[in-house]
Amino acid sequence: MTEKFFEDLPAGDKHLREERLSGEDIYGGIFLNMKRDTVSLPNGEQAIREYLTHPGAVAIVALLEDGRVLLERQYRYPIAKACIEIPAGKLDPKEDHLVCAKRELEEETGYTAKKWSLIRRIHPVISYSTEFIDIYLAEDLVPGKSHLDEEEFLDVFAAPLEQLIGWVEAGEITDVKTTISTYWLDRYRRGLVKPTLIL
């Protein structure tokens, strides 16, 4: 059997949509909230959907003058592992996304950037969270002093793109924002994609 092409699918998403009928808050945390909604399915039946609401976040692909990528290594408690990641952080209430990216880069690494571009928005856990991450490209970096939060401990270092790709392929890097950014940067270096210049 041959599968259809995307162009052969029905127009729109009405035949797939789920509509919220009612809902309740299950848990409220520092910045994550868990909800349980009753929804109407496309066939008229009902189902329960549980999900986390998240304020959103930013991540930064910061390129040094020598072409290396600025990285962090920090311990991630939920998976009990020190992970290699690009700089990132969650949005404060009503915070402009680019302002957040600039703040997080400087707080965590000490660097500021003279040139900023938007790479894209990703949704890292679409099955159970509203979280999105806007990924930025930061260039023309200027070193400075970091200002970590009291509960924040991390190593800052830099690595060439080839090493990042190797870590992703070997399973050393499993973080989704860093994995996507690594492959995007590889395509960018080959002239296959372009970010949207902001500043």
pLDDT tens-place string over residues 100-122:
999 999 999 999 999 999 999 99
Distance CA 135, CA 156 (A): 19
Six token digits for residue 194: 């372009």
Six token digits for residue 189: 């270096």
| 150 is a catalytic site residue | yes
Distance CA 138, CA 71 (A): 13
One domain for residues 174 and 91: yes
Distance CA 53, CA 145 (A): 33
Q: What is the pLDDT of residue 53?
A: 95
One domain for residues 186 and 124: yes
Q: Give the global pTM.
A: 0.93
21-34 mean pLDDT: 94
Neighbours of 39 (CB within 10 A): 16
DSSP reduced 3-state for 132: coil
Per this entry, what is the length of the chain?
199
Decide if 186 is inside a domain.
yes
15-24 mean pLDDT: 96
Taking Cα atoms as reference points, which of 46, 37, 39, 42 lies closest to residue 13?
Answer: 42
Q: What is the pLDDT of residue 199?
A: 81
Number of structural domains (the chain) is 2
33: containing domain: 6-53
User: Exactly one of 24, 45, 150, 162 is catalytic; which is it?
Assistant: 150
Q: What is the pLDDT of residue 1?
A: 66
pLDDT tens-place string over residues 30-83:
889 999 999 999 999 999 999 999 999 999 999 999 999 999 999 999 999 999
pLDDT tens-place string over residues 135-191:
999 999 999 999 888 888 999 999 999 999 999 999 999 999 999 999 999 999 999
One domain for residues 45 and 117: no
CA 31 to chain centre: 16
Long-range contacts of 20-23 (CB under 8 A, 24+ apart): 21/46
Neighbours of 133 (CB within 10 A): 23
One domain for residues 74 and 98: yes
**Whether the Cβ atoms of residue 51 and residue 17 lie closer than 8 Å to each other:** no
Decide if 1 is inside a domain.
no
Q: What is the pLDDT of residue 152?
A: 86
Decide if 31 is inside a domain.
yes
One domain for residues 76 and 164: yes
One domain for residues 90 and 134: yes
Task: Determine the residue type at 119.
Answer: I
**Whether the Cβ atoms of residue 111 and residue 141 lie closer than 8 Å to each other:** yes
One domain for residues 126 and 150: yes
Q: What is the pLDDT of residue 31?
A: 85
DSSP reduced 3-state for 11: coil
Domain of residue 161, CATH code: 3.90.79.10
One domain for residues 37 and 96: no
Asked whether the predicted pLDDT for residue 2 surpasses 90, the reply is no
10-34 mean pLDDT: 94
Measured distance between the N- and C-terminal CA atoms of the chain, rounded to whole angstroms = 50
